[in-house]
Structure formats: structure tokens, C-alpha cells
Amino acid sequence: MKRAGYNMSRGEEEQIPLHIPDAPNRPGDSSSFEPWKWHPNDLKKPEFDCVADETFDHATGLVRVLDDNGEALGDWNPNLTTEELKLGLEHMVRLRIFDDRMMKMQRTGKLSFYMQSFGEEGIAIAQTMALNDNDWIFPTYRQPGAQFVRGRDMVSMICHCIGNVEDNVKGRQMPVHYTYKEGRFISVSSPVGTQFSQAVGVALASKYKNLDEVTITWIGDGASAEGDYHYGLNFASVFKAPVILNVVNNHWAISTHYNIASGSNNFATRGLAYGIPCFRVDGNDFLALYSVTKWARERAKLGFGATHVEILTYRAGAHSSSDDPSRYRPSNEHEYWPGGDPIERLKDHLIKNSHWTEKEQKELEEKIDQEVISAYKEAVKYGDLANGPYPSSDTIFTEVYESVPWHLQEQWDEMKKWRTE
């Protein structure tokens, strides 16, 4: 008698091989993705007071608005104005050009490290535009575009990436680990996943104070294997925290495919077990991202609690300036992603409706490119990577405690003595 690899006769057992998932395609393989079976008219908006089970189809399907021909269709169409659409396009183009210039500066030794959002520009930008200005943002390193929506200038962002005297975190974070107090953009955390449960705590504090504030946070597919992800879901479910919990499934956690993070190919349905309404949304569809986030914010505002969202996308570029994706996946794989490019899709939608032209697109790109170049020239007036000036070493001890504890004061005094010798 045999069952699942066991030889049951005489107590002998066959060795069961250890299952270690592998990426479907590796360098040298042909790239391919199954064509999407989901369409913009498939799913209706549920009521704001819906329960988790009522969103099963939303979690196993895909919320889309833009079809393959650039038409905005279905119940989820947010019917944004032409000016709102153009602003969203401008923010996305700005982020892509900013990223491209910063990566070139890293390659020429002007920055120590950098991370792009290539192919994912629409996520933070569309979602932040759907929020109120007083809502809290707990990002990962691929949501810098939210800062453009909240009004941060590029000079300040570049100063942070350089780590000069105008770096608002004073050299205490890696480049691209932004924080922007004025925009309620909480500091990006290097230990991935920590922001998820923290966001729920801040959301609960807002609810306790009876404030009209919602918190949004993101986590990657790889980091969703961390305990912080599940703590956050449970905390949000129990206390009905006004929070939007996003899992960005871009298929890769550095060089690790998402199938290492989950035994299922669906991240959205995980939240159903916690009693939270769940959605899977096309992460390269600006309108779908905006609409789902707007719905989730209204649900939170009305006191019905959290929403869990899987954002289905593909990381088109490298994980960071230290990464070479050609070593672990086909170099052109992103070109085959069924969701396409978020900038091209919104641009094509505007052109299709006679609200935009290729000439205007080129002019916008040229204008923003000059803005980035000018911003870098302004930023290095406050110090460059090679020569400084840099933030004072005193900042190691400041801005943590209201009064510096005695043991840190001793270390600080010792450092000052060493510094003057």
C-alpha cells in the first residue's frame, strides 16, 4: 500500500523530497504570462458596510477600469476630471524621470544607493490622490511618488538621497528612505514589514480621538511572509481600525519569486480569514487604483473598518542599484506583463478621448527632465556625496529623547572629546 510517497509495507518509508519553489522563468528562458481573463465590467462595487465574504469575487477576480483599448468602463470608473487625470499623469512622469536621473547619478558616483519605482509609479500616486491631505501614509521604498502628490519639492528629496546638511533625516537613513512630516509621510523602514502594524496603531489612535483621518500602508509580496503582516491584519480586524492595507505583489522580493512568500498565487484572499473585505486590483490601472482606494477610505470614514488590497503588478526594474535582475529572470520579462505600463495606459486613455497628444507628452517629459537637473544643481549647493558638508555627528544623539539620558550623554561627551583630539 502506497500513499503520498510512503511505502506502508513493513514500516518502510520512501524519502519525501523537500519542496522548494522556483521561479517559473529563469535567465535564458522565454518570458510568458497567461492572458488575463478579467475585464472592467466583471465586478460591482459592494456596499460600504459589506462583510468579508461578500468580497470573495473581488479578491479572486481583478478590479479593472481601463480595458485593453484605453476605454474607462464599469462600475469602478471614478469619473475623474480631465485635469485630475492630467495631474496624475504628470506625477507619474515626474517620478519616472526623477528615478531615471537619480539612478544615473548613482552610477556615476554622485549617490551611494538608489531604488526605482519603474513600472509601479501609479500605485502610490493614484492611491494618495484618492485620500484626504490629513490622512497618514506608511510607505515602503517604492511609494516616493506620494510625496509629489503631497507637495514635496525635489531639492529636498535629493538632499536626503545625498545625505548632505539639508537632509531632513540628517544622514540617519539610507537614501530613498524618505520621511516628510508636512505630508504625513512616515519614515520608510529598512526592516521590511514593520510599517504594517504601526499603521494600524496610528489608525486606531485617530479613531480613538474621533478624527476624520484614515491611514494607508503598503507591504511587498515577500515581506508579507513576515509576522508583522499578520499582526496588522488581526489588529485591524479586531478593532475595526480605519486603515487601508495594501500588499504590492510585484512578483519579486529582490531575487526571490513571490511563490517563496506564499503557497498560493493569490495574496488578496488572505485577509478574508481575518474578516476583512478584500480586493485584488490591477496595479497598472491608475483609475482602478484610485477607485478602490476611494471606496476603502469612505468605508473607513463611516466606521466599518479596514480594507485589504492586493495590488497586482510587476517590478519592471531592478530591486535597487545593488541588484542585477538579469542574473535571476529573463531580462525582457516585464515587457510581457499583461498589465502593461501605467504611464502609457493613462496617456493612451487621455489621447483616445482627445484630451492629450504625443506632442504634449514629449513637452511634459522635457520640462520635467530640466526640473530634475535644476533640482540636483540646487541640492549640491548644500553638499555633495564626495565632499560634504554632511550632518554633524552630534545628530547621532539628538531628536530621540526629550532629555538625553545619562548613559547616552556620557557617550556623546566621549565622542566630542575624541572628535577634538
CA pair distance 45, 77, nearest whole angstrom:
10
- Cα R_g (the chain), whole angstroms: 23
Residue type, 403: S
Residue 130: closest CA among 117, 142, 152, 146: 146
Q: Catalytic pick from 299, 315, 329, 345?
A: 315
Residues in the chain: 421
Q: Catalytic pick from 172, 230, 231, 328?
A: 328
Could you confirm whether 152 is annotated as catalytic?
no
Other beta carbons within 10 Å of 82: 12
Judging by DSSP bridges, how do beta strands 243-249 and 252-253 pair with one another?
unpaired
Residue 278: closest CA among 249, 314, 315: 249
Could you confirm whether 319 is annotated as catalytic?
yes
Q: Catalytic pick from 308, 319, 329, 334?
A: 319
**Cell numbers linked to 407:** 548613559
CA pair distance 355, 85, nearest whole angstrom:
10
Residues 6+ apart with CB under 8 A from 288: 63, 64, 65, 66, 76, 281, 282
The catalytic site residues sit at 315, 319, 328
